[in-house]
Amino acid sequence: MAVSQATIRESLQKLENAGLVIRVPNVGTTVVRLTPRDIRERVELRAELEVWAAKQAARRMTEIDYAELERRMRALMAAVDADKYYEGAQADLAFHRYVWQCSGNQTLAVTLEQVTVPLLAFVSLLRHTGFEHLPDVVAGHEPLIDALRSGDEERIDTAFREGATQSYREFMDTGGASRRASAFGFMDAAH
């Protein structure tokens, strides 16, 4: 493909920094495999941080921000309706990134990125391999927008906590989808 080793090395370093691959010197690079415990820990951390970001964002968002969030939600739902995994994952991340950015806390947004991207990528890979279909597992994001608009911190907490956890529940234990994913080598059931 006419790509230098330096370019490949740099690309793999970026993927490692994003938490998407594991590099072992003098051995090779592999895609990250998460355990149910890894998933549970990331989901719990994401839920706490995202609720905090959403509460801050609700205080700052304008009608222009809500219009952009609704546009991103429509893009997500179009990808979900078409059962397009990659586009769905990208649109879902774009929706949540916008909320994180609206919080006004750059450190919080970066931290959420580091926690969420590997989780979203890994679970999207599992879904793409046929374990689930997007229309069955991706909830609408209207409740998130409604909660933000309300400004009610309790409502924001409930909506964003549920939104951050609901589609990962079956991967956070050693039953169901986790066992099937482990059987096919996609998930490390250890721990």
Would you state the pLDDT for residue 183?
37
Q: How far apart are CA 49 and CA 34, in angstroms?
A: 20
Q: What is the DSSP letter of 19?
A: T
What is the structure's pLDDT at 69?
Answer: 96
Q: Mean pLDDT, the chain, as a whole number?
A: 82
Q: Report whether CATH 3.20.20.140 matches the domain 37-175.
A: no
| Nearest Cα residue to 112 out of 63, 190, 175, 51 | 51
Higher pLDDT, 35 or 42: 42
pLDDT for 61: 98
CB–CB of 56/105 below 8 Å? Answer: yes
Confidence at residue 181, expressed as pLDDT on a 0 to 100 scale: 46
- d(Cα 122, Cα 187) in Å, to the nearest integer? 9
Domain assignments of the chain as residue spans, ordered by start: 37-175
